[in-house]
Amino acid sequence: MRRLVLAGIVAGIFSQSGQAALKEGDAAPDFSTLASLAGKAFDYSLKDSLKHGPVVVYFYPSAFTGGCNIQAHTFAVNHEKFTAAGASIIGVSLDSIARLNDFSADPQYCAGKVAVASDPDGKIARSYDLSVRDAAPGKKDSRGVDIDHGFAERTTFIVKSDGKIAATLGGLKPAENVEKSLEIVQALSAKKP
């Protein structure tokens, strides 16, 4: 009986962390897409960003929603620490670029410090083996605006300059996700010669 209960607990933990098949040592799928920083859209390329150091690629369900607001704000508050460790940050969601322009500039959330990328069809999220759910009819964001897009599961990948995944983080609360991401990039920075 104890084994059955323990197996159920373990299964619950793994189901919370998502079904991300990409793990440490796997090659991170390259992607290019439209992104926004401080309310301005630009062309983003993971390959180009990796030329400057590790990249924290964090997938989140939707801009202007509870946990996503906390996560974006926590990344923004800690932005200088990530930069000091040589890492950049890119958030990825199925939001339109118009929503992301607002989100990236909002002083309560991305605060013009964190770039967020649009993955409108979920293709990027799926390339990282993340589950993507369809939009829920009638769902509204924290501003009362309808959410008309699907949702990727909240999972963060720390990608090293060589394009390999250093860590996959899922099943954490939004602020804990950022804290753990920072610990990992700081450890990577400490290992550099």
Q: What separation in angstroms does the CA of 88 have from each of 66, 132, 135, 144, 193?
A: 23, 25, 29, 31, 19
Closest alpha carbon to 110 in 142, 141, 53, 72: 72
From 55, 68, 178, 182, active-site residue? 68
Question: Which residues are paired to 33 by β-bridges?
Answer: 44
5 vs 57: CA distance, rounded Å: 35
Residue 53: closest CA among 173, 143, 160, 171 = 160
Beta strands in the chain (DSSP E): 32-37, 40-45, 55-59, 88-93, 115-118, 132-133, 151-152, 155-159, 165-170
Q: Is 110 a catalytic residue?
A: no
CA atoms within 13 A on the CB side of 81: 15
Euclidean distance between CA atoms 50 and 70, whole angstroms:
26
Joined tokens for residue 188? 């990577």
Q: Which residues are catalytic?
A: 68
